[in-house]
Amino acid sequence: MMESTTSCPVCGLENSTSRHTQCPFCQTERTQDRNPELLIIEPDNGSRKIYTLFAAVLALALLVVIILMISLWHNTRLTRLESRVLDQKLSNQENILSLDTRLEQLAENQMHMLQNTMNLAEVVFMNRLQKKKGLVTKEHGRNSLHKPVISESSLTYKQFWTYDADDKDTLWGLAQKFYGSGKYYPVLLEHNPHLGIFDVGGGDRLKVLNNKDLAPQIYKTVVEKDGPALYWSYPIQEGDTRQSIAEKFYKSAAMAYRIRQLNPGASIQPGEKIKIQLE
């Protein structure tokens, strides 16, 4: 009787006799030959640990990558948001500064208009008051109305506005600009004794009459004419000397002799007025 042969379901060895209880090649138990589907190959513990450790490391790495991506996305959005907030803040600040500047200019213009209106009303009121009191006299067979004399002491700070000069300005040009004629520059000197004739420039701040119609009357009261010569009374300032005054009005300290000639008894003390030849 011939022995039956079979093949190993694990390693595939054929023609092995059934009398062997184990496969002569892979030592698999023959009891499992009858039902190969019941064959279970158990991996060893070392391989299982390696697979488990690899899977854990892979999951951890994936988790770290996800966290980094989320963090990068969050930081990008936060940076964009901060940039937008900063741009909006700068834009708001520029708008506020522009609005403040416009409001200041509008308020200044309104103040000038109001002051001019008040000055005009004051002139009209004085004229009507003089007519009402009958301040009319006979002069050369004609009726003439006495004109009020306007002096520096009668003017108040409300009748001026402030102008900041630049390097291109001159007294003659400013008088032409504000009073209608360059010859009224002594009026500017009268109200700004800190200025010299030739040293108006950037940084100088000048008082200018709100009502330019007052300039001709003030001009007549502050200047003195002697033939072609024109004189003005300069109030001595703190620290003035004859040399500094000559430099201020004649551009040469050597012209101090002219100050002595025009004012032989002057002591050059603050508040004292001396005669200066302008032309």
pLDDT in tens, 60-118: 999 999 999 998 998 888 888 888 888 888 888 887 877 777 787 777 777 767 766 77
pLDDT at 144 > cutoff 60 = no
Q: pLDDT at residue 150 above 50?
A: no
Query: CA-to-CA distance for 118 and 104, rounded, in angstroms?
Result: 21
pLDDT value for 14: 67
Do 127 and 67 lie in one domain? The reply is yes
Same domain for 195 and 111: no
Structure-block tokens of residue 17: 């006799």
Over the stretch 37-70, which tens digit does the pLDDT of each residue have?
A: 444 455 556 677 788 888 889 999 999 999 999 9
The number of distinct structural domains making up the chain is 3
Cβ 223 vs Cβ 256: under 8 Å: no
**What phi and psi, each to the nearest 5 degrees, are found at residue 81?**
-65, -45
Q: What is the chain's alpha carbon radius of gyration, rounded to the nearest angstrom?
A: 54
Domain shared by 93 and 20, yes or no:
no
pLDDT score recorded for residue 233: 84
| pLDDT for position 220 | 87
What lies within 8 Å, CB to CB, of 159 at 6+ separation is 115, 119, 209, 210, 211, 214
58 and 37 fall within a common domain: no
In the predicted model, what is the mean pLDDT of the chain? 75
Are 160 and 215 contacting, i.e. CB atoms less than 8 angstroms apart? no
- Residue 31 DSSP SS3: helix
- Residues 127, 66: one domain? yes
Angle 150-152-158 from CA coordinates, rounded to 5°: 95
pLDDT tens digits, one per residue of 189-216: 888 888 877 778 777 888 888 888 888 8
Verify that 156 and 136 share a domain, yes or no: no
19-56 burial code (b ≥16 CB/10 A, e <16): eeeebeeeebebebbeeeeeeeeeeeeeeeeeeeeeee
Burial class (CB in 10 A: 0-12, 13-18, 19+), 215: buried
Residues 192 and 207 sit within 8 Å (Cβ to Cβ): yes
Which is nearest to 250 in space by CA: 259, 262, 239? 259
Mean pLDDT across 157-182: 84
At residue 17, the pLDDT reads 64
Task: Mark whether 126 and 166 lie in a shared domain.
Answer: no
* The pLDDT of residue 178 is above 70: yes
Query: Based on the domain organization, do 21 and 127 belong to the same domain?
Result: no
- Look at residue 213 in the predicted model and tell me its pLDDT: 87
Same domain, 171 and 89: no
* pLDDT band (50, 70, 90) for residue 139: very low
Asked which of 105, 129, 148 is the last residue of a domain, the reply is: 148
Q: What is the mean pLDDT of residues 208-236?
A: 86
Length, in residues, of the chain:
279
The pLDDT score that the predictor gives to residue 255 is 86
Instruction: Give the end of a domain, one of 148, 180, 208.
Output: 148
What is the pTM assigned to this prediction? 0.44
| Exposure on the CB side of residue 22, measured as CA atoms within 13 A | 5
Domain end among 148, 164, 190: 148
User: Above 80 in pLDDT, residue 242?
Assistant: yes
Same domain assignment for residues 190 and 261: yes
Listing DSSP states for 188-214 in one string gives HHHH-TT--SS---TT-EEEEES-GGG
Enclosing domain of residue 10: 1-41
Q: Please check whether residues 257 and 154 belong to one and the same domain.
A: yes
The pLDDT assigned to 65 comes to 93
Q: Does 262 share its domain with 184?
A: yes
